[in-house]
Structure 1
């Protein structure tokens, strides 16, 4: 096996593992969001300010998760591009 092929396979494995990990993390966080939303909606004396803060907090989690995923994807893309342009020995 050529070193370049091996590097591509390793990077493909890393990307696959990263995507599977993020998908699992997304499922856990989405379930948490559903639980929090349900809990807030069922409060008898629901404080609107508390609900607003909680929804902003959940939205912040979602945005942070996506930003982190994009950062990792960009990093892996840069690594792949570096290996593609490396001279073969």
Structure 2
């Protein structure tokens, strides 16, 4: 079997990264938490990103359930004579 190493610092292969992605770890940070890849010299992070891509194995923002609408809060009317910096803080 031909192993292609992604992270030479920790000996992590493409297959291992793909397996972690299949297990639900879909960001370089999640991969790093699982196997330390990308946490030493960092030269493999772009390769890990390329391997993760936007495949069907990971939940993407488009596949998440829609969020509930957040009600908009009406802004309070400005008090007359309030300096501009304080108006921004009040908002």
Task: Specify if TM > 0.5.
Answer: no
Q: Which has the higher contact order (CA 8 A, sep 6+)?
A: 1
TM superposition score normalised by structure 2: 0.24
The TM-score normalised by the length of structure 1 is 0.25
Identify, as 1 or 2, the structure richer in strand.
Answer: 2
Greater per-residue helix proportion: 1
